Chain A
Amino acid sequence: MKFRAKIIDVGCLNHFTRVVNTISKLTKTCILRLTPNNLYFVLSGKVASGGVGMWCELSQANFFDEYQLEGVAPDANEICLEVTPENLSRALRTSQNAKCVKIKLTKKHCPCLTLVAELPTLSSVSRVVTHDIPVDVIPRRLWHDFKEPRMPDFDVSIYLPPLKTMKNVVDRMKNLSNFLVMEANLNGEMNLKIETDLVSVTTHFKDLGNPPWGDDGSQGRSRSRDPEVMAHTRVDIRKLQQFLMGQQVNPSKAMCNIVHKRIIHLILLHEDVSLQYFIPAVA
Chain B
Amino acid sequence: MPLSTQSQTEGDNYVLVASLDNVRNLSNILKAITFKDHAIFNATPNGLKVTVEDSKCLQANAFIQAEIFQEFTIKEDSVGFQVNLTVLLDCPTIFGGSTVPGVATALRMCYNGYGYPLTLFLEEGGVVTVCKVNTQEPEEPIDFEFCSTNVTNKVILQSESLKEAFSELDMTSEVLQITMSPSQPYFRLSTFGNSGNAHYDYPKDSDMMELFQCTKTQTRYKMSLLKPSTKALALSCKVSVRTDSRGFLSLQYLVRNDDGQICFVEYYCCPDEEVEEE
Does A249 sit at the interface, judged by CB under 8 A? no
Does A223 sit at the interface, judged by CB under 8 A? no
- A161, A172, A199: the one contacting B127 at CB < 8 Å is A161
Whether A203 lies near B84 (C-beta < 8 A) is no
Whether B134 lies near A199 (C-beta < 8 A) is yes
Does B211 sit at the interface, judged by CB under 8 A? no
A201: B residues at CB distance < 8 A: 91, 94, 129-132
Residues 168-209 of chain A, each 1 if its beta carbon lies under 8 Å from chain B, else 0: 110111011000000000000001000001111111111000
CB distance from B205 to the nearest CB of A (A): 49
A171: B residues at CB distance < 8 A: 96
B127: A residues at CB distance < 8 A: 161, 165, 203-205
B102: A residues at CB distance < 8 A: none
Does B260 sit at the interface, judged by CB under 8 A? no
- Complex: chain A residue closest to B125, CB-CB: A165
Does B262 sit at the interface, judged by CB under 8 A? no
Whether B131 lies near A168 (C-beta < 8 A) is no
Taking CB atoms and an 8 Å cut-off, the chain B residues in 77-100 that contact chain A are: 84, 87-88, 90-91, 93-96
Does B3 sit at the interface, judged by CB under 8 A? yes
- Complex: chain A residue closest to B4, CB-CB: A204
Bound state CA distance, A199 and B117, in angstroms?
9
- A169, A198, A205: the one contacting B84 at CB < 8 Å is A198
B128: A residues at CB distance < 8 A: 203-204
Interface residues of B (CB under 8 A from A): 3, 5, 84, 87-88, 90-91, 93-96, 117, 125-134
Whether A202 lies near B87 (C-beta < 8 A) is no
Considering residues B5, B95, B117, which has the most beta carbons from chain A within 10 angstroms of its beta carbon? B95
CB<8 Å pairs between A and B, sample of 16: A161-B127, A164-B96, A165-B95, A165-B125, A169-B94, A173-B94, A197-B134, A199-B88, A199-B131, A199-B134, A202-B3, A203-B128, A203-B129, A204-B3, A204-B127, A204-B129
- Complex: chain B residue closest to A175, CB-CB: B90
Bound state CA distance, A134 and B11, in angstroms?
64
Give 8 nearest A-B pairs by CB, closest first.
A168-B96, A203-B129, A201-B131, A200-B132, A199-B133, A204-B128, A172-B94, A202-B130
Bound state CA distance, A168 and B130, in angstroms?
15
Bound state CA distance, A69 and B84, in angstroms?
61
